[in-house]
Amino acid sequence: MMEPQENTNDDSVPSPAPPPLPRERIPVQKGSVCSRSYFMVVMVFFHVYVLNVIALLLYVHYNSGSEAGSSSRDFSSRSNGHKVAEPLDPQPADPGFTRRMHLPRIEGIRVGHVQKVSLVPGKMHEMKTLSLKPLLFEIPHFLSEEECSVVVRLAQLKGLMESQVMVPEGQEELNQQLNLSPEEIFNLLDLNQDGQLQPHEILTHSRVRDGIWLTPENLREIYAGLKADHDGNGLLSLEEFGQLSSDAFQRFLLQRGVKRSQLVRNSRHTWLYQGQGAHQVLRDLRNRVIRLTRLPPSLVELSEPLQVVRYEQGGHYHAHHDSGPVYPETTCTHTRLAANTTSPFQTSCRYITVLFYLNTVEEGGETTFPVADNRTYEEVSLIQNDVDLLDTRKHCDKGNLRVKPTKGTAVFWYNYLSDGRGWVGEQDEYSLHGGCVVTRGTKWVANNWINVDPDYHRQARYQQLVSQQESQEQQLEKNPEQNTDTHQDL
Ligand SMILES: [Ca+2]
Ligand SMILES: [Ca+2]
């Protein structure tokens, strides 16, 4: 097989360009099929052809080699339940996973740009770019009126629960886990490092987790009630801060009595499974999301179920990010099975949010993107003395962009930037958004979140693990008498 290649080298004609032959010989040999120039040209093309074939064979061989590697591993784990732990190796077991999966990202072009998309057979949808930071699109008529009604009815049938419990828990637990001293916490909160905690520094922190929504007025009440601000300068020094427990603010408000409108979110929700065997409307929705986002179907299928949310009149959701920033220690909720570590920094890793409006709200209830396409993103400037851009009960009108809830319309945006190599990069802070207060009527929406681990190998291991588990289950269905305790391995 390798001989032609060696011959090529011997002939010193590795390129398809005919070799520069001595001019005087050409007329002599012209017209003869046995001439040297004709022979050389034929040989060059022959060699190039052979090289191409070899390259193609090598390509096929190596590609099918890695495929065969992974499928034989799948087979061995299928035939032997004890192999399940194998993909938990810290190194990716299958080099074929290395950068094989790319995440396409839809181009926004410019704000107001409309592109046609094919989501269902025989119909074209229009997708309009609403902002570039975050990359945000709107697609009217994504769901039919009937589909909207079915989703709402399925959610009602399942039953909705309060989106946020009144008593925020876990703060003490988190602090213990992080093992931070009051000094260390103070230093983290003191964003401008001036040795004092300004009101907005406290407010920014208090909003990271679901709890009672603190306003500047609340803070003044708390300082007075807890006698926290000894010198009355409106700021907390390290000494003043050190005398408070970590959840002192929330507890103070709780004791005073809290209304639902004072919470970070005031809504009810439920989750609807969209996998195999789910209601056809939910399956159709998932398939449409796959076509819309152009992501690998396996990624979308392994993402969170559909969340359906109902806001009553007066309901809201203050501005937030759907998924947190990613640090080296951060783990994703969905891939923790394959993470091998436990970390106090866990986030949902929601690469994309697809939000569906299931009804047209009579008044209010817009989705606000307070800093969309802002020139800069500064956390500090979100909360000024008189305007709190995160507050969707008071200051929705001051945000940069609002989307009106229209029945059947979908909006979707990327919560993370690209890493420039076809995978998930850093969090896009501009994806900050919230639900404005519903001033008249009820608001029904649904959310599809596409979960992707910014750690490519962790996502790959997770998918491998799930597919192995699925094939084992299929095997068990085929041979129910087979060893039934294999599932205990996971
Ligand atoms: Ca400060
Ligand atoms: Ca003070």
Secondary structure (DSSP) of 225-270: HHT--TT-SSSEEHHHHHTS-TTHHHHHHHHH---GGGBSEE-EEE
How many angstroms is it from 198 CA to the middle of ligand 2? 9
Residues 194 and 276 in one domain: no
Q: Which of 246-260, 382-396, 429-443 has the lowest mean pLDDT?
A: 246-260
Do 288 and 158 lie in one domain? The reply is: yes
Task: Answer with the one of 12, 43, 70 that is the final residue of a domain.
Answer: 70
* Ligand closest to CA 223: 2
Contact (Cβ atoms closer than 8 angstroms) between residue 352 and residue 412 = yes
Domain's final residue, options 261, 278, 302: 261
The answer to whether residue 78 is domain-embedded is: no
The Å distance, Cα 79 to ligand 1 centre, comes to 61
pLDDT, tens digit (0-9, with 9 covering 90-100), for 349-369: 999 999 999 999 999 999 999
Answer yes or no: is 97 within a domain. no
Find the 364 Cα to ligand 1 centroid distance in Å.
35
* Alpha carbon of 190 to ligand 1 centroid (Å): 4
Q: Pick the range with the lowest mean pLDDT from 50-54, 84-88, 403-407.
A: 84-88
Residues 138 and 154 in one domain: yes
Q: Rounded distance, CA 97 to CA 464, Å? A: 10
Tell how far the Cα of 201 is from the centroid of ligand 2, in angstroms: 14
**In terms of domains, do 131 and 225 share one?**
no
Q: Ligand nearest 235 Cα, by number?
A: 2
Nearest to 332 by CA among 427, 206, 435: 427
The verdict on 281 and 293 lying in the same domain is yes
Per DSSP, the three-state class of 332 is: strand
Q: How far apart are CA 451 and CA 293, in angstroms?
A: 12
Instruction: Give 78-98 pLDDT, tens digit per residue.
Output: 333 333 233 333 344 444 455
Ligand nearest to the CA of 202: 1
Specify whether 417 is located in the same domain as 434: yes
Of 309, 269, 308, which Cα lies nearest the Cα of 285? 308
Distance 166 CA to ligand 1 centre (A): 29
Taking alpha carbons only, the member of 317, 295, 308, 344 closest to residue 451 is 295
Determine the distance separating the centroid of ligand 1 and the alpha carbon of 331, expressed in angstroms.
30
| Phi and psi at residue 143, to the nearest 5° | -115, 150
Q: Minimum-distance ligand to the CA of 196?
A: 1
Closest ligand to the CA of 204: 1
Terminal C-alpha separation, the chain = 48
Q: Ligand 2 center to residue 217 CA distance, Å?
A: 16
Answer with the residue of higher pLDDT: 142 or 66. 142
- Measured in Å, residue 188 CA sits from the centre of ligand 1 at 10
| Within a domain: 103 | no
Three-state secondary structure call for residue 8:
helix
Residue 13 lies in a domain: yes
Residues 315 and 411 in one domain: yes
Tell me: the pLDDT tens digits for 123-182?
A: 999 999 999 999 999 999 999 999 999 999 999 999 999 998 765 555 666 666 777 888
State in Å: Cα 148 to ligand 1 middle.
48
Please name the residue that has the structure tokens 């909360």. 383
283 and 317 share one domain: yes
Q: In the listed set 70, 103, 124, which residue is the last one of a domain according to the structure?
A: 70
Find the 231 Cα to ligand 2 centroid distance in Å: 5
pLDDT interval class at 202 (50, 70, 90): confident
Measured distance CA(391)–CA(434) in Å, rounded:
9
Residues 236 and 325 placed together within one structural domain of the fold: no
In a domain, 242, yes or no: yes
Looking up tokens 């001036």 gives: 194
203/214 Cα distance (integer angstroms): 6
The torsion region of residue 434 among left (phi > 0), alpha (psi -120 to 50) and beta comes to: beta
Domain that holds residue 360: 114-164+264-462
Q: Is residue 476 a part of any domain in this protein?
A: no
Residue 449 Cα to chain centre, angstroms: 7
Distance 194 CA to ligand 1 centre (A): 5
Ligand nearest to the Cα of 227, by number: 2
CA of 208 to the centre of ligand 1 (A): 18
Expressed in angstroms and rounded, the spacing between residue 379 Cα and the centre of ligand 1 is 13
Nearest listed ligand to the Cα of residue 193:
1
> Which range, of 66-80, 96-110, 205-219, 330-344, averages the lowest pLDDT?
66-80
- Give the pLDDT confidence score for residue 99 in this predicted structure: 59
Within this chain, do residues 279 and 383 fall inside the same structural domain, yes or no? yes
Spatial contact of 452 and 362, defined as CB atoms under 8 Å apart: no
β-bridge partners, 379: none
Residue 92 domain-assigned (yes or no): no
Q: Are residues 309 and 241 in the same domain?
A: no
pLDDT at 120: 95
Domain-embedded: residue 469: no
Q: Is the same domain home to 195 and 270?
A: no
Q: How far is the CA of 256 from the centre of ligand 2 (A)?
A: 23
- Which ligand is located closest to the Cα atom of residue 199? 1
Cα 196 to middle of ligand 1, angstroms: 4
Residue 268, domain CATH = 2.60.120.620
Residue 189: CATH number of its domain: 1.10.238.10
3-class DSSP assignment, residue 274: coil
Domain count, the chain: 3
Q: How confident is the model at residue 441 (pLDDT cuts 50, 70, 90)?
A: very high
Closest CA to 87 of 457, 455, 456: 457
User: 186 C-alpha to center of ligand 1: Å?
Assistant: 9
